[in-house]
């Protein structure tokens, strides 16, 4: 019984702690990226206001839609990986959620 249970417990423990670390770091990284993106767009709008650049909003919208479409395609690959490594993922997901909450 122990030879079956022990590896699963190791995977679950490691999954939780790795999930916590990834969730915590990801939340901090996202906060920094949001601030940088906001500063970038403020600078871009100020440069447009002063006539330094001209923004083509239809092209900007098209680029954002393409970016969002690419991200949704990657999500299906992640789902297949999680299903393949279920014991690790079963602990990773709550650890990730806890890390995001505490981050």
For the chain, the domains span 2-102
pLDDT greater than 90 at residue 22: yes
Supply angle C-alpha 11, 12, 15, rounded to 5: 85
In the numeric block, the tokens 């083509």 are attached to 56
Task: Of 37-41, 50-54, 77-81, 98-102, give the lowest mean pLDDT range.
Answer: 77-81
Helices (H) and strands (E) in the chain, counts: 3, 0
**47-84 residue pLDDT tens:** 999 999 998 889 988 888 887 776 666 666 777 777 77
**Predicted confidence band at 9 (pLDDT cuts at 50, 70, 90)?**
confident
What distance lies between CA 103 and its chain's CA centroid?
A: 13
């Amino acid at each position: 019984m122990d030879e079956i249970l022990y590896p699963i417990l190791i995977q679950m423990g490691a999954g939780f702690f790795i999930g916590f670390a990834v969730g915590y770091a990801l939340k901090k990284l996202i906060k920094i990226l949001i601030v940088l993106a906001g500063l970038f767009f403020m600078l871009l709008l100020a440069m447009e206001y002063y006539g330094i650049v001209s923004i083509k909003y239809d092209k900007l919208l098209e680029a954002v839609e393409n970016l969002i479409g690419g991200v949704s395609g990657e999500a299906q690959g992640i789902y297949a990986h999680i299903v393949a490594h279920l014991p690790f993922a079963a602990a990773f997901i709550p650890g990730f959620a806890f890390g995001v909450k505490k981050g």
